[in-house]
Structure 1
Amino acid sequence: MGTTLLIGSCEPFSGKSALVLGIAQQLIRSGLPIRFGKPLATSLEWDPAKGPLPQPLIDDDVRFVGDTLGLPESHLIPSLHLLSPTTATLRLGQGELTAGDGFDRLKQQVVAEDGFTLLECAGSLQEGLLYGLSLPQLAEGLNAKVVLVHLWRDSCSVDALLAAKQTLGDHLAGVVLNAVTPDEVESLERQVVPALENLGLSVYGVMPRSPLLRSVTVGELVRRLDARVICCPERQELLVETLSIGAMNVNSAMEFFRRRRNMAVVTGADRTDIQLAALEASTQCLILTGAGEPLPQLISRAEELDVPLLKVDHDTLATVEVIEQAFGHVRLHETVKATYAFRLVEEHCHLDRLFEVLDLPVPSR
């Protein structure tokens, strides 16, 4: 008889996929067969004008995790529904709030088969109710334990965890606190974690905030900004960790740029001095706003340094808002991020305790 664990969160983009990768990797080391899926697909690119949903419905996150872990296709569990405006409109028209026959098949599969089933749930406790696939519904229907990955800002962050505990009851196995300011990890483990344990919240890890995991590819910025790529289109896989605005004088800009790493620099198309200074720093892409075109010598230098040069129609303020919204709100679909996630979970999570609760073999280190 198999074991099922649900990974959920109180809000989207809390770090569920990173924890999934870390848990799965440690159990694979112990020789335990792993199956992974997302009952409600949330990251599948689908255009209803081009045809029906693909079958089987394999979420992009599931595909990436499967490829990263080397799982066979048969160990990727298809999603039952896709969360999208189109499918939500259809569900509303149908007035149907259950997951349908597919949920019964899912239940039979995870109960009957040996090994371990890891299911990543939607972005919050409520998300998926329209499809009958919210986290509480899945926990109850599958009689499964839940681990919540929670973004920790300060002690007020505990309210959402206490509300989740009331909703999930005995299904809640515990929590992992994520995106903690690195300097505060030690004090949090020493002072806050014991307090949470006294409130009945088992804490399996405190993970520091990671600029790498929050980073966004140049290609994603191109998509979100609807930008024109002037040069180096083949370098869109570069990861942007920080944002800089080139609005100061060139001497101040050079000093500022030297203190930053893996930047996207946003500046006016007429600020050639700032643009050239940015190219000599740790710049992953240069984004030009406003009227005008870059000078040929700028394009030539960007090509020499392999730095993508983008041109957008937005003004600087609107461009910055789009980029800031992207940080921390993208899927974990890059190999370098997955490698870092493995290390982050191994170094900062105490999964032995979780595996004991689930009556699973504790991997040897």
Structure 2
Amino acid sequence: MGHDSASTQARSSALLIGSCEPFSGKSAVVLGLARQWLQRGVPVRIGKPLADSAELSESSTGALIDDDVRFVGQILGLSDEQLVPSVHLQGADVARERLLAGNLDPGAGFAALQQQLDQSGDGITLLEGAGGLSDGLLYGLSLVQVARGLQAPVVLVHSWSGCHSAESLLAAREQLGDLLCGVVLNGLPPDQVPLVRAEVAPALERLGVPVLGVMPRSPLLRSVTVEELVRRLDAQVLCCRDRLDLLVETLSIGAMNVNSAMEFFRRRRNMAVVTGADRTDIQLAALEASTQCLILTGAGEPLPQLISRAEELEVPLLKVEHDTLTTVEVIESAFGHVRLHESVKATYAFRLVEEHCDFEPLLTRLRLPTPA
């Protein structure tokens, strides 16, 4: 891969969307950005040089298309020709093989990617980087390596949790140089967005890190389907198997007395409620609240009237072998760590990016047509 100086002016028709850490909101920004440009008549292609998970496409070429890329393509109505094949697919076996062989070169696949971009004509190719800055080094496809190899400008989507969060952005700026053309700060409590926009954004700008957007934290985008919880918990589904596409935004533990529980449940929305299999009073109270699924732990079987009430209200009832603490840990680790594969999330991502980001500076830098 070429190692041209990062300060060289970008000459690629590609724009890289990366992050310092995984699950920072890259896919949401790719979606929002792609839709804005498509609406303006700018031809858009999307891809991921290093695929996380992918099925070989059914085309005769057997192209490797990342599952996220395929989903975004479907949502945006892109043709197969607008989906750029990945160079490699990440996997434990391949990583081990590459490490033991000392092979850190992306190989011919990267040259093929470069060639595709050179022949792509008008418009822009949005390429989503691997998880964080160092992800992909074993494949020669870390964000910095791809950016330098393609001489492509980079937008970083960054989870902001206070001014110390600037340090990883400054580290990225050191590595990317002038190829870093902007950042989107994500995941802020909504009440902090105006202050960060007014104070932090100009300060970062002065340090050579232009801020293109400041987005609030979204419970919906962090949410997880009941089906994903079933998979992670290896749960038994006792009823409403056809409702596993419901989205869970919050977690509640039904361990208090029933009056306190009812008051607590009333204040939460789109919950998964975890409670002991023997706490029928809590279980029935949870079903009357904004509950997306009820998860029963411990010994004992639920009463038939609980199952019939859950069926009536169309709330999936799950039974797990784990204790309550383990169950809660598994669920909490799922929030914010799932792929954006639901159309309701995509619709929300469009709105979030439109309301909180300004990509005009990118249009200018990439010499794309700006609206009249």
| Match among 11, 29, 33 for residue 21 of structure 2 | 11
The aligned amino acid for 1:158 is A
Aligned to 1:306: 314
Aligned to 1:198: 206
Question: 1:2 touches 1:112 (CA, 8 Å); kept in 2?
Answer: no
Normalising by the residue count of structure 1, what TM-score does the alignment of the two structures yield?
0.96
Question: 1:39 touches 1:80 (CA, 8 Å); kept in 2?
Answer: yes
5 Å matches for 1:145-294? 145-294=153-302
Q: Structure 2: which 5+ runs fail to align?
A: 1-10
| Match among 78, 88, 93 for residue 85 of structure 2 | 78
CA–CA distance in structure 2, aligned partners of residues 213 and 179 of structure 1: 10
Q: Structure 1: which 5+ runs fail to align?
A: 47-53
**Partner-residue secondary structure (3-state), 1:177:** strand
Greater mean alpha carbon deviation, residues 95-104 or residues 289-298: 95-104
Q: CA deviation at 1:259?
A: 0.2
Aligned to 1:49: none
Aligned to 1:27: 37
CA–CA distance in structure 2, aligned partners of residues 348 and 43 of structure 1: 30
Give the RMSD, CA atoms, in angstroms: 1.3
Aligned to 1:50: none
The aligned amino acid for 1:326 is A
| Match among 88, 92, 95 for residue 95 of structure 2 | 88
How many residues in Structure 1 have an aligned counterpart in Structure 2? 357
Q: CA deviation at 1:43?
A: 3.2
CA–CA distance in structure 2, aligned partners of residues 361 and 289 of structure 1: 57
Question: 1:2 touches 1:117 (CA, 8 Å); kept in 2?
Answer: no
Q: CA deviation at 1:143?
A: 0.6
CA–CA distance in structure 1, aligned partners of residues 265 and 370 of structure 2: 46
Aligned to 2:8: none
CA–CA distance in structure 1, aligned partners of residues 188 and 90 of structure 2: 29
CA–CA distance in structure 2, aligned partners of residues 67 and 194 of structure 1: 37
CA–CA distance in structure 2, aligned partners of residues 266 and 55 of structure 1: 44
The aligned amino acid for 2:86 is S
Normalising by the residue count of structure 2, what TM-score does the alignment of the two structures yield?
0.94
Aligned to 1:39: 49
Question: 1:63 touches 1:76 (CA, 8 Å); kept in 2?
Answer: yes
**Partner-residue secondary structure (3-state), 2:213:** strand
Question: 2:266 touches 2:289 (CA, 8 Å); kept in 1?
Answer: yes
Greater mean alpha carbon deviation, residues 12-21 or residues 113-122: 113-122
* Cα deviations by residue, 1:210-241 (Å, 9 ceiling, x for unpaired): 00000000000000000000000110100000
Identity of aligned residues (%): 69
